[in-house]
A and B are shown apart, each in its own frame.
Chain A
Amino acid sequence: MRTLIFRTVAPYLTSLMVLFSVFVLLRGHNEPGGGFIGGLIAASAFAIYGVACGVSPVRRSLYFHPMAISGFGLLVAAISGWLSVVFNVPFMTGLWIKVSVLGVPVDLSTVLFFDIGVYLVVLGSITSVALALEEREHG
């Protein structure tokens, strides 16, 4: 698998796929997409990078351990549910806020953060499995 062409293309392919996964994550609220599928795309991006260049560059580029990323995602998702407690509404209620970033109005919501949490959980756990399998193959 580790041909010159693949190794040259893989980093670009990976970064494109990660970018695309973020796009899929963000459009997921009203259109097809969302955290789960976005996370899968990102995880396959890192898997491709791992197949092409080996596991340790992937681990270096992720910086955090995939399971820690997963844990952080779970924390983000749980907190976005718990935020409702401040507003006297039931658990997991979607709360919205309008902010203006450089004059552009942006709707932020707990739903979005929950989805980001899902994205990170899927990214972390699937990457962790993929890297463990690849490590065994090459080791």
Chain B
Amino acid sequence: MAAESIDISNAMVTQPTTLGDWMLVAPVGVPILFGAILLMVRHETRLHASVAIAGLLLTLGANAALLLQVLADGPQVMTMGRWLPPFGISFTADVLGASLSFVAMLVASVCALYAMKDIGTTGRRYGFYPFVMLLMAGVGGSFLTGDIFNLYVWFEVFLISSFGLLILGSTERQLDGATKYAILNLVGTTLFLTATAYLYGTFGTLNMADIARKAEAMRETGPLMTLAVLYLLAFGMKAAAFPVNFWLPASYHTPRIVTAALFGGVLTKVGVYALLRVLVMLFPVERAELSGVIAWVAAGTMVLGIMGAIAQSDIRRVLGFVVISGVGVMLAGLALGTETGLTGTILYAFHSVLAMTALYLLAGVMKGLGGSYSLHELGGLYRSYPAMGAFALVLMLAAAGLPPASGLWPKVLLVRASLEAGWPWLSFAILLTGLLTTIALGRVYILAIWRDRQEVAPAGEAAIGRPGFGYTSLVLLCVPIILLGVYPEPFIRVAAAAAGGLLDSSSYIGAVFPVEAVQ
């Protein structure tokens, strides 16, 4: 009201924001805006795809600008409603959050493109595109928020949207998968909320920068170890880490393939991101204490996950287990906690978002051309569609961590980091996982692509040709995958900057509390 007469600088941000600062909220604000518009025009299904793709591309552009800004000038902050942090809710983008959010928006745009073919009028009527927009708003918010309770809220936003996407089509199998997914995820969310309540009781603040700078003083008196363990369990559940990963293989093979692609690519990485943010930045001492446990969890997740993949005969189930084993590889870097290890983890996260989405989309193309997801029924695809064989080869090399694709360098970094840390068994587990992934995916390649055509073609479902959208989507994803494989320097530089920002949080804290950084 009469703001001129009152000195508000004690309670509010008085610095004017520039248009550049708004790039920070764009990854959340733009998808919400477009999601709302899509909800309003729910029955005009023809408009959906173009509105959604326009919205996602706009978000992607803003996110790219944000990433460049963060790389150039360090962490960016905007505090909602002008209230000074820690009272206002801050959005804080550092290299880690901005880069992961960028990769996620990239694959979401590709998925929206692929969905033009995959999701028919009925799926659109049930709200596929609005759900995708709100899902991405939740994912973007999770990566960019600087407030741990707000992180919980964004987790809820994308979780609820993911329920909607999972049951799109309402078949019995989907409802069965969605029930398991919903219940186990809600248990994880409850743990997360409990831990956050406990954290608030201990620290009296929820702002992550504030927690990071107060943690040192609280270490003697506060139950920080309990908090770290609770968060490890809660986010481990979200990330599908062994032994709390049962929800993923139970549900990821049931939804539409483009939904599975988006989930497999993006959602588990949000859990990994939250683990990195909370354990490395907020509770570094406790993380070091827990590193042995995390390392065993990592090794168990990667090896047992990929063993599950070898046992499956449905391509989507194989991929679900490959996603889990990738989470294990990322946790290895968290266990190590060194700069090289974390760089490897973050680089692996970029690779995994791209490669897992691409592999699921590839499965969708295979189903479109071969008429089935089952390895018993597929066959002869190489002879009919050599281009698809090429895509499959690149993506399977990427997932297995072989050159010339993206999986190689993060694994090199992680193996080096675990040898440096004196944990040769962890590097052995990573290499063993690579070998087993090669076997699991090579089996898919031999059975579905090289083998002669099977005569048990599924009844009623004739092969539907014309993989135009599928190929376009795969090309869009294969370009960054190969780039990451043959020219990894810029990617490694970004990942190293992100890891550095996690290990030394002073610039993150300084961005949120600029003037009086010490109280």
Question: How many Å lie between the Cα of A71 and that of B35 in the bound state?
Answer: 8
Smallest CB separation, B404 vs chain A (Å)? 43
* Residues in B neighbouring A82, C-beta threshold 8 A: 29, 33
A137 within 8 A of B: no
B37 within 8 A of A: yes
A68 adjacent to B29 (CB under 8 Å):
no
| CB contact list, B278-305 vs A, under 8 A | none
* Residues in B neighbouring A91, C-beta threshold 8 A: 22, 25, 29, 78, 80-81, 91
A90 adjacent to B33 (CB under 8 Å):
no
Option from B13, B37, B40, B81 in Cβ contact (under 8 Å) with A94:
B81
Which chain A residue shows the least CB distance to B31?
A: A78
* Residues in A neighbouring B13, C-beta threshold 8 A: 89-90
B82 adjacent to A89 (CB under 8 Å):
yes
B40 adjacent to A71 (CB under 8 Å):
yes
Which chain A residue shows the least CB distance to B3?
A: A96
Among A68, A79, A93: residue with most chain B CB under 10 A: A93
Option from A65, A72, A78, A85 in Cβ contact (under 8 Å) with B22:
A85
Question: How many Å lie between the Cα of A120 and that of B189 in the bound state?
Answer: 27
Question: How many Å lie between the Cα of A107 and that of B2 in the bound state?
Answer: 12
B22 adjacent to A79 (CB under 8 Å):
no
Q: Is the interface of B mostly helix, strand, loop or mixed?
A: helix
Which chain B residue shows the least CB distance to A75?
A: B36
Smallest CB separation, B86 vs chain A (Å)? 15
B459 within 8 A of A: no
* Residues in B neighbouring A50, C-beta threshold 8 A: none
B25 adjacent to A71 (CB under 8 Å):
no
Which chain B residue shows the least CB distance to A82?
A: B29
* Residues in B neighbouring A107, C-beta threshold 8 A: 1
* Residues in A neighbouring B80, C-beta threshold 8 A: 90-93
Question: How many Å lie between the Cα of A90 and that of B40 in the bound state?
Answer: 27
Smallest CB separation, B193 vs chain A (Å)? 19
Option from A71, A74, A85, A92 in Cβ contact (under 8 Å) with B81:
A92
A67 within 8 A of B: yes
B40 adjacent to A72 (CB under 8 Å):
yes
Question: How many Å lie between the Cα of A108 and that of B125 in the bound state?
Answer: 36
A74 with B39, Cβ < 8 A, contacts A88-B16, A88-B18, A91-B25 known? yes
Smallest CB separation, A20 vs chain B (Å)? 27
Smallest CB separation, B278 vs chain A (Å)? 24
* Residues in A neighbouring B37, C-beta threshold 8 A: 71, 75
Interface string of B38-51 (1 = CB under 8 A from A): 11101100000000
Question: How many Å lie between the Cα of A30 and that of B22 in the bound state?
Answer: 30
Smallest CB separation, B391 vs chain A (Å)? 37
Option from B17, B19, B21, B38 in Cβ contact (under 8 Å) with A71:
B38
* Residues in B neighbouring A14, C-beta threshold 8 A: none
* Residues in B neighbouring A81, C-beta threshold 8 A: 29
B161 within 8 A of A: no
Question: How many Å lie between the Cα of A21 and that of B319 in the bound state?
Answer: 50
Question: How many Å lie between the Cα of A93 and that of B25 in the bound state?
Answer: 13
Option from B19, B39, B79 in Cβ contact (under 8 Å) with A90:
B79
| CB contact list, B84-123 vs A, under 8 A | 88, 91
Question: How many Å lie between the Cα of A91 and that of B40 in the bound state?
Answer: 24
| CB contact list, B160-188 vs A, under 8 A | none
Q: Is the interface of A mostly helix, strand, loop or mixed?
A: helix
B29 adjacent to A71 (CB under 8 Å):
no
| CB contact list, A119-135 vs B, under 8 A | none
B496 within 8 A of A: no
Smallest CB separation, B113 vs chain A (Å)? 23
A75 adjacent to B40 (CB under 8 Å):
yes
B32 within 8 A of A: yes
Question: How many Å lie between the Cα of A96 and that of B21 in the bound state?
Answer: 22
B138 within 8 A of A: no
* Residues in B neighbouring A84, C-beta threshold 8 A: 17
Question: How many Å lie between the Cα of A71 and that of B88 in the bound state?
Answer: 27
A70 within 8 A of B: yes
B29 adjacent to A72 (CB under 8 Å):
no
* Residues in A neighbouring B36, C-beta threshold 8 A: 71-75, 78
Smallest CB separation, A99 vs chain B (Å)? 13
Question: How many Å lie between the Cα of A68 and that of B40 in the bound state?
Answer: 4
Question: How many Å lie between the Cα of A91 and that of B130 in the bound state?
Answer: 22
Smallest CB separation, A113 vs chain B (Å)? 14
Smallest CB separation, A59 vs chain B (Å)? 14
A70 adjacent to B33 (CB under 8 Å):
no
Smallest CB separation, B51 vs chain A (Å)? 12
| CB contact list, A75-111 vs B, under 8 A | 75, 78-79, 81-82, 84-85, 88-94, 96, 107
A93 adjacent to B82 (CB under 8 Å):
yes
Which chain B residue shows the least CB distance to A121?
A: B36
A67 with B29, Cβ < 8 A, contacts A85-B22, A89-B17, A91-B78 known? no
B130 adjacent to A71 (CB under 8 Å):
yes
A68 adjacent to B42 (CB under 8 Å):
yes
Smallest CB separation, A70 vs chain B (Å)? 6
A90 with B32, Cβ < 8 A, contacts A67-B42, A75-B37 known? no
**Lowest 6 A-B CB distances belong to which pairs?**
A71-B39, A74-B36, A75-B36, A88-B16, A71-B40, A93-B82
A sample of 8 cross-chain residue pairs with beta-carbon separation below 8 angstroms, ordered by A number, consists of A71-B37, A73-B36, A74-B36, A90-B21, A92-B81, A93-B80, A93-B82, A107-B1
* A residues at B contact (CB < 8 Å): 65, 67-68, 70-75, 78-79, 81-82, 84-85, 88-94, 96, 107
Please name 20 further chain A to chain B contacts, defined as beta carbons within 8 Å, in addition to the given A88-B17, A89-B13, A93-B82, sorted by A numbering. Answer: A67-B39, A68-B40, A70-B39, A71-B42, A71-B130, A72-B36, A75-B36, A78-B36, A81-B29, A85-B19, A88-B16, A88-B18, A89-B17, A90-B78, A91-B78, A91-B80, A91-B81, A91-B91, A96-B1, A107-B1
